Structure 1
Amino acid sequence: MQTDSKVVLFEQTPIPKAVAQLAVPTVLSSLVMVIYNLADTFFVGMLNDPVQNAAVTLAAPVLLAFNAINNLFGVGSSSMMSRALGRKDYETVWRSSAFGFYCALICGALFSLACTVFQSPLLTILGADSVTTEATAAYMNWTVSFGAVPAILNVVLAYLVRSEGAALHASIGTMSGCILNIILDPFFILPWGLNMGAGGAGLATFLSNCVACLYFFVLLFVKRGRTYVCINPKKFVLKKDIVTGVCAVGIPASIQNLLNVTGMTILNNFTSAYGADAVAAMGICQKIYMVPMYVSQGISQGIMPLISYNYSSGNVPRMKHTISFSRKAALTIIISVAALFFLFPGTFVEMFMKNETIIEYGSHLLRGFCLGLPFLSIDFLAVGVFQAVGMGRESFLFAILRKIILEIPALFILNAVFGLYGLCYAQFTAEVILAIAAILVLKKLFRRLETEGTGLQAPSEK
């Protein structure tokens, strides 16, 4: 069933063109997703109500927790699929796809149920108080209680479609939901519309994710017989090689996102001690920071199928050239954006809320955040390579290093020594050390590949 165009893309297309064909649509969809994330903050900010803006910020860790499921079954299954494509093992491709889809569906439903049943203690853990609880709960009702399943399936299906090189279709699906969300936000949030505040932002997010899922289901129906993405329940089996192959990559990626949730929750709890204005400023800076972060992530995710395919097929020089070219492109973009954030922080913060106190807080915080961006891009690329070639252990170690060993302890220390403005330097501290470790591990991988002459295979694939 493999088409000539897929073979040409993975095996023969010049690296700059192949990277552009895979990464550019992914980066564009990531940027649209950033705008979609910024839209909630922007339109809620137009209410000039720090409580409503704080609600969106406080709920963010729960939405980020979706990525634990997304990465477990999206990253894990897509990596397994691309490596199997490189070996021309199409049965494994189909079974990996079905396994990822149905496990994501089941886990999304369980996540939604758990968050609904235990909403009250969850709000307390997130840092909501008597002032922000009602608005935060309204936002989470739509985005989590009703919206967890479509939000998770939307992302997982994009990963599965991207694994066979169809980056454009994956991006269209993701962007369709994001654009609809941006259109619906002002109508649901602002006084001239339904005036629902943060709850309206949640409703718009829920509807947009449902539309994105519908796009992918229609795509798979239209392309049936011409796609490797399979959601036929008959292909959903718990075979050991499928489960271990997906989980070897997916579990470390999932743990990384759970630790991100933990880190963000700690950060928000520290910030909440300084008041609603500080929480709103931190939330705005985090959303601004997402722009270059998602660009780095988009490049890393976009090239994963190309790396996986050539790694599995034994074309090590092509794999190395892909990584080298992508690193240079990512650093050029990220350093430019970080410089703008550092030079004009107040201008970016003011775009979301014209409050002098929040602009003052945000200007200091954004400068601290942007210093870690170049190092973050290196770290994302390295972890993307680990995921692409099945190096789950290295992905897991980097996740532990990033949060438990480096960033979370840094939050406690910097908050105690420097207060609010010290919090924004915790990530910079972690990413510098991780960037050095990433370069060393990648060099070791390249030396090993050159010695062996072929790609390393996970135990489950031998």
Structure 2
Amino acid sequence: MAETKQENKMGVMPVNKLLISMALPMIISMLVQALYNIVDSIFVSRICEDALTAVSLAFPVQNLMIAISSGTGVGVNALLSRSLGAKNQEAADKAAKNGIFLAICSYLVFLILGLTACNLFFRTQTDSATIIAYGDTYLSICMICSFGMFIQMMFERLLQATGRTIYTMFTQGTGAIINIILDPILIFGMFGLPKLGIAGAAVATVAGQIIASVMAVFFNFKFNTDVSLKGRFRPSGHIIGQIYSVGIPSILMMSISSVMVYGMNRILIAFTSTATAVFGVYFKLQSFIFMPIFGMNNGMVPIIAYNYGACKPDRIKKTIALAMVYAECIMLIGLLVFKLKPDLLLSFFNASPEMLAIGEPALRTISWSFLVAGICIISSSTFQALGNGLYSLAISFGRQLVVLLPAAYLLSLTGNIHAVWWSFPIAEVASLALSLTFMYKINQKIFIPLRKMQRESEN
């Protein structure tokens, strides 16, 4: 009965009200995550600029861990939801158990890398002994203790797949808040605890993840009656293949930004390590602008997918149009803040005069890309919702690896650090052109046939 009501709401509720009701919880959750990202770096910057640079250089690996755990979860979600819809409880339970098995295997890979490869990773980016030492300490702790993140994300996906998204808000929010609270205590040695420095930032991060993972496991065993995780388990190659057939495209899409950030770090650090710190700060700050749009995407995708199945092209187009309007409004706010108050934003990170000299023009220049970024993000999620994920992958790959990195490298040859930042607006314009091209194809391939089907059903 509850499922029928949800279907009715998706198909008949006024689109604007529906989009807001679906997206708002996701937006709040994403904002909490963005706040954690920013606050974490603010405290690290109080150690020194080299520590902030080290955390910036560590981002590609941390993002890769998130990409693998989240992408695997997407695959598990798809298989689990399909099995439950087909009333195949055994298949649903096997999908969940194999997903947990894959999360543990993924952790073991990063555990080994954390024990052996962190120092080498940083040495490929810088020859500064101080930055390498900070980075090795920070990243090795994050990787060795990443079991909390992998378990948290997998068990959260099990809750999401069965419609219990409210619990994921609790786990994500609690993990982020614990991290924020522990950061200053462990970094600076408050309340009689030892001063751990950058190691404290890493410990705070993994502590939040571990506690959130315990909560996610508890919520599943206590409240998730749609999936049984008890009984014997044997890994299934067939089920794992099904999971990754859906999950690998998502993993690749999210991993592209790791490659891009690694490449940008290599380009920028050739000028000065401060430029890399500025880029890391920008990435943290822009998450506060982009995360609400990603949250809106999470609310928008099921609306589009449902109405696609219901042959209601008008509702799909209205959802897309409203989402783009909201996204562009958010981006406009971000543009104004980055343009008018870059010095204030950088001051949160204990910016040195050199950092301000590089960072203020950087934020002002990069923010031009916000003008069209909202349209590109919504378009990409629309393609996924309509079953054309390869379009989304092509846009992400084209923007970050085909345009942005080569443009940044070519502009760096001028010897002017400020020129490099223009690679972001250039890449976003290219992304917009590709998005509009694919949207035209979607219109021809999906919307026009849908409209014909709708007319035929009405007649």
Place the TM-score, normalised by the shorter chain, in its bin. 0.7 to 0.9
The answer to whether the aligner puts 1:436 opposite 2:429 as a matched pair is no
**1:178 Cα deviation from its structure 2 partner:** 0.4
8 Å CA contact 2:289–2:334 kept in 1: the answer is yes
* Residue type at the aligned position of 2:152: N
Compute the displacement of 1:306 (Å): 3.0
- Counterpart of 1:53 in structure 2: which amino acid? L
| 1:294 paired to 2:256 | no
Q: Give the unaligned 5+ runs of structure 1.
A: 456-462
In structure 1, the residue matched to 2:62 is 63
1:245–1:358 CA distance, 2 compared to 1 (3 A): same
Deviation at 1:250, TM superposition (A): 2.6
Partner of 1:111: 110
3-state DSSP class of the match of 2:422?
helix
Q: 2:443 aligns with which of 437, 441, 446?
A: 446
Deviation per CA, 1:147-189: give whole Å up to 9, x if none. Answer: 2x32233234434433454443322221110011001100011
Q: Which residue of 2 aligns with 1:203?
A: 203
Equivalence for 2:358: 361
Instruction: Tell me what 1:143 maps to.
Output: 142
C-alpha displacement of 1:75 = 3.0
Mapped to 2, the partners of 1:329 and 1:347 lie a distance apart of 26
The residue matched to 2:421 in structure 1 has which SS? helix
CA gap of 1:432–1:93, structure 2 versus 1, over 3 A, is: farther
Give the drift of 1:94.
Answer: 5.6
| Counterpart Cα distance in 1 of 2:339 and 2:233 | 51
Shift, 1:222, TM fit: 2.2
User: Would you say 1:304 and 2:301 are equivalent positions?
Assistant: yes
Q: Identify the residue that residue 383 of structure 1 maps to in structure 2.
A: 380
Aligned to 1:131: 130
- Pair 390,214 (structure 1): closer, same or farther in 2 beyond 3 Å: farther
Q: Whose radius of gyration is greater, 1 or 2?
A: 2
Letter in 1 for 2:23: A
After superposition, the Cα gap between the structure-2 partners of 1:282 and 1:403, relative to the gap in structure 1 and judged at 3 Å, is closer
Matching residue's letter, 1:318: R
Identity %: 21
Name which of structure 1's ranges 194-203 and 74-83 shifts more when overlaid on structure 2.
74-83
Tell me whether 97-106 or 113-122 shows the greater mean CA deviation: 97-106
Change (3 A) 1:339 1:231: farther
Once residues 401 and 127 of structure 2 are traced to their aligned partners in structure 1, the CA distance between those partners, rounded to angstroms, is: 24
- SS of match in other structure, 2:130: coil
Q: Could you tell me how far apart the structure 2 residues matched to 1:121 and 1:287 are?
A: 25
Matched residue, 1:458: none
Match of 2:346 in 1: 349
- Distance in 2, Cα, partners of 1:297 & 1:381: 9
Select which of 154, 162, 165 maps to 2:160. 162
Matches within 5 A, 1:166-177: 166-177=164-175
Q: Does 1:214 align with 2:214?
A: yes
Scaled by the length of structure 2, the TM-score of the pair is: 0.88
In the alignment, what sits opposite 1:19? 19
**Relative to structure 1, is the Cα distance of residues 373 and 105 closer, same or farther in structure 2, using a 3 angstrom cutoff?**
farther
Partner of 2:196, secondary structure, is: coil
User: 2: distance between equivalents of 1:318 and 1:95?
Assistant: 36
Distance in structure 2 (CA, Å) of the matches to 1:13 and 1:97: 32
User: Secondary structure at the residue paired with 1:109?
Assistant: helix
Determine whether 1:255 maps to 2:277: no
8 Å CA contact 1:293, 1:373 repeated in 2: no
State the alpha-carbon separation in 2 of the partners of residues 189 and 127 from structure 1. 24
Q: Displacement of 1:341 after TM fit? A: 0.9
The alpha carbon displacement at 1:299 in A equals 1.6
- Distance in structure 1 (CA, Å) of the matches to 2:174 and 2:450: 43
CA distance in 2 between partners of 1:84 and 1:9 (Å): 23
Structure 1 residue matching 2:445: 3-state secondary structure: helix
Of the structure 1 ranges 108-117 and 201-210, higher mean CA displacement relative to structure 2 is found in 108-117
SS of the residue 1:131 aligns to: helix
* Structure 1 residues 92-150: Cα deviation after superposition (integer angstroms, max 9, x where no partner): 76655554443233223212322322223222234363121111111112211212x32
Question: Structure 1 pair 319/220, CA: closer, same or farther in 2 (3 Å)?
Answer: farther
SS of residue in 1 equivalent to 2:285: helix
Please say which of residues 442-451 and 182-191 is displaced more in the overlay. 442-451
Q: Find the residue that maps to 1:371 and give its secondary structure.
A: helix
Q: How does 1:227-246 map to 2 (within 5 A)?
A: 227=226, 231=229, 238=236, 246=243
- What are structure 2's unaligned runs of at least 5 residues? 453-459
Q: What is the identity, as a one-letter code, of the residue corresponding to 1:152?
A: F
Task: Indicate conservation of the 8 Å contact 2:114/2:141, yes or no.
Answer: no
Query: What does residue 41 of structure 2 align with?
Result: 41
Structure 1 residue aligned with 2:335, among 333, 338, 358?
Answer: 338
Give how far 1:82 is off: 5.8
Kept in 2: contact 1:54–1:283 (CA 8 A): yes
Q: 1:354–1:404: structure 2 CA closer, same or farther, 3 Å change rule?
A: closer
Which stretch of structure 1 is more off in the superposition, 8-17 or 332-341? 8-17
Structure 1 residues 58 and 29: CA distance shift in structure 2, 3 A = same
The answer to whether the 8 A contact 2:69-2:106 is kept is no
Cα distance change on mapping 1:400 and 1:295 into 2, 3 Å: same
Number of residues of Structure 1 aligned to a counterpart in Structure 2: 449
* 1:179-190 correspondence runs (5 A): 179-190=177-188
| Residue identity in the other structure for 1:383 | S
Secondary structure at the counterpart of residue 195 of structure 2:
coil
Q: What TM-score results when the alignment is normalised by the length of structure 1?
A: 0.87
Cα separation, 2, equivalents of 1:98 and 1:311:
31
Counterparts of 2:93 and 2:7, CA distance in 1:
18
Structure-1 separation of matches of 2:229 and 2:429:
41
**Residue of 142, 149, 152 corresponding to 2:150:** 152
* Offset from partner CA, 1:197-226 (integer Å, 9 cap, x none): 21111000001001111221122122232x
